[in-house]
Amino acid sequence: MILKSNKFKNINEYISNNTDLNICIITHCYPPDFGAAPHQYAHMAESFHAIGHNVTVLTSHPYYPKGKLQRKDFFKLRRHTKINGIDVFRHWLIPSQQNSAILRLLSMTTMLLSMLFSMSLLKKKKIDVVIVQTPPITLPLLGILLKRIQKVKLVLNVSDLWPQAMVDLGSIKTNSIAYQILHRLEKFYYSKADFIITQSDETKSYIQDLNFNDVFLYRIGADINVFHPHKNVQRGEKLKIVYTGVLGVAHGILDLIQKVSFDALNCELHIYGDGIEKNKIKNYIIKNQLQNVILHPKVHYKEVPEVVKQYDVALISQKKYVKGTLPAKLYESLSLGMPILFHGQGEGEQLVQKHQCGFTSRPNDLVQLTKNIKSLQQLSDKEFQLLSNQSRKAAVSYYDRDLQFSTFYEALKTVTHHLMFA
């Protein structure tokens, strides 16, 4: 990956003037894991590397989103790989993507225990800054331990709110003992961080309401030079909708095809992805002989732009409203100049409405979703092209991944200035 100098103020100046930092990124997933989160961390790591810093990634063996380890990793505590100049150390865990709090906690705990064996490695590398993802809720403990032992600067990347997300999903209640314990742990993590980054304004506001004010909005964004639209938007007689991404319970694709008749609407839904509901989706399509719902094999991340551009509209789906969540595939769809069919609630819904680049419906409002599909079918070519143009404009102006990293890096310098310019 090569960062563009017009997006970074002056990369050569950064490289020549900065003191090289030893940066460690701790995350539960990293390519070849599937989804937006692994590629955000890869972009972050490669961006730091491009401007002269030394980057080490601690992560798990590939398992996301299916929740299964490859056979070669079953008995491997740690494996070292080099990806685009980045040292990646993968660790053993008991994987789980099941909707079970006990299994997920077991998975997070085994990941933490495995990564503890890499503490001596990080000590040798003389880490200056550690960036830790949460959730998983156990990983910040490793960052706090590093801060105490090696006096590193701790950056906490809050990708999802917890235990608030568990409340929104109906797993626990705010008056429960479990919630009280997790909420105290959450605030403890925030208090130990030197810098907090989040992916949505909603999450940022939530953390600030807890009186932690040093929070920075760092959206995942999209690579606008890779995710670029066709020069001319051409539609066929039948509207073709595409969904790409994780096929999990929270995304609600199985529920959607069970309740919305795409055959009756005379439009196609094309599904690309992987996850714990993939086989259920496949079996439902076969059992009910759905003609207009097509499940395709998973495609490599690099192939996504060309695949998605074959279709007319991008579907973003959420089964329930969870505070702070914002589907990352929204940015890529915008960058591709795709009109958006947003079926969900929260900040993603607000962004589609703000940029006037598609139609929105709430998670349980399938009547409105059906109306929105019909509205898309009835658009003139001129109206359709306008939605496409507004999507691309929003991505270029606000959600360029390099621009997002550049502003994050500038903010990070306020925390690490004495290290960078020692």
Residues 17-22 have a mean pLDDT of 74
pLDDT in the model for residue 232: 64
Q: What is the mean pLDDT of the chain?
A: 89
Using the CB atoms, write b or e for 242-273: b if 16+ within 10 Å: bbbbbbbbbbbbbbbbeebebeebebbbbbbb
pLDDT in the model for residue 2: 40
β 340-343/313-317 pair status: parallel
pLDDT in the model for residue 282: 96
CA count, 13 A, side-chain hemisphere, 402: 19
The answer to whether 214 and 244 have CB atoms below 8 angstroms apart is no
- Per DSSP, 20 falls in state P
Is it the case that residue 346 has pLDDT exceeding 70?
Answer: yes
- Per DSSP, 400 falls in state B
Handedness of CA 24, 29, 33, 36 (dihedral sign): negative
Confidence of residue 421 (pLDDT cuts 50, 70, 90): very low
Is it the case that residue 333 has pLDDT exceeding 70?
Answer: yes
Confidence of residue 97 (pLDDT cuts 50, 70, 90): low
pLDDT in the model for residue 13: 47
Residues 110-116 have a mean pLDDT of 93
Dihedral of CA atoms 46, 49, 54, 58 in degrees, nearest 10, equals 0
Confidence of residue 66 (pLDDT cuts 50, 70, 90): low
The answer to whether 32 and 88 have CB atoms below 8 angstroms apart is no
- Per DSSP, 61 falls in state S
Predicted model pTM: 0.88
pLDDT in the model for residue 99: 60
Is it the case that residue 300 has pLDDT exceeding 50?
Answer: yes
Distance CA 3, CA 48 (A): 10
